[in-house]
């Protein structure tokens, strides 16, 4: 204990702390900065630059009615539904519009069937590899599974694609016919269909 007190009393020069008082002129001025009271507010990281949004290529169908331009299709799908309120008093035009929308649904169903056909063809190729002999060659069962699934599933996909392609190309005529029937019934307020491409 005595040693600790002696060490604390001795300065750097070997002099005791009470030997010579330090003058205010010889001591450097120490400026203490106030400590923050609480934690500092975090700063946000630098902003990430956002890419410019460009409109993708698309085909827009519009129609002109009484000097105003309207979208032909609803916001959900390309169905020409916004023409329906204008054609309520022309049964033939409504029938053509109904045929158009029904065919659109049929094409959608054909796409589902074609997708199932592709999955069957791929699954058949994978499953057929489980039927191999000791040399790693396909057995008769494996060959049959591969042949039937590839021909059946691939054929289903091709037929569905062909049906959808033909139906979609032919289906647009129903909208044209519906507009033509409306214009014949209402020559003073015709509908004019326009198709524009946006880049």
Average pLDDT of the residues in 14-29: 55
| Confidence check: pLDDT of 4 > 70 | no
Per the CB < 8 A criterion, the answer to whether 31 and 20 are in contact is no
Residue 135 pLDDT: 82
Residue 68 pLDDT: 87
What are the tens digits of pLDDT across the range 111-169?
999 999 999 999 998 888 888 888 878 888 888 888 899 999 999 999 999 999 999 88
Residue 92: pLDDT band (50, 70, 90) is very high
Two tokens at 100? 């158009």
Burial degree of 117 (CB within 10 A; 0-12, 13-18, 19+): buried
The residue extents of the domains of the chain are 58-198
Residue 121 pLDDT: 92
Helix, strand or coil for residue 125? helix
């Amino acid at each position: 204990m005595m040693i600790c007190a002696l060490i604390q009393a001795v300065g750097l020069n070997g002099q005791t702390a009470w030997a010579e008082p330090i003058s205010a002129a010889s001591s450097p001025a120490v400026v203490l900065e106030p400590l923050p009271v609480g934690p500092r507010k975090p700063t946000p990281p630098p902003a990430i630059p956002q890419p410019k949004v460009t409109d993708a290529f698309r085909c827009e169908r519009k129609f002109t009615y009484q000097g105003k331009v309207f979208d032909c299709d609803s916001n959900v799908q390309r169905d020409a539904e916004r023409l329906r309120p204008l054609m309520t008093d022309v049964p033939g035009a409504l029938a053509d519009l109904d045929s158009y929308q029904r065919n659109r649904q049929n094409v959608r169903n054909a796409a589902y069937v074609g997708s199932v056909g592709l999955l069957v063809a791929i699954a058949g190729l994978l499953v057929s590899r489980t039927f191999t002999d000791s040399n790693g060659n396909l057995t008769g069962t494996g060959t049959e599974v591969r042949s039937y699934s590839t021909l059946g599933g691939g054929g289903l996909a091709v037929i569905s694609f062909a049906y959808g392609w033909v139906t979609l190309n032919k289906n647009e005529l129903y909208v044209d016919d519906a507009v033509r029937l409306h214009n014949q019934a209402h020559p003073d307020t015709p509908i004019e269909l326009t198709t524009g491409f946006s880049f």
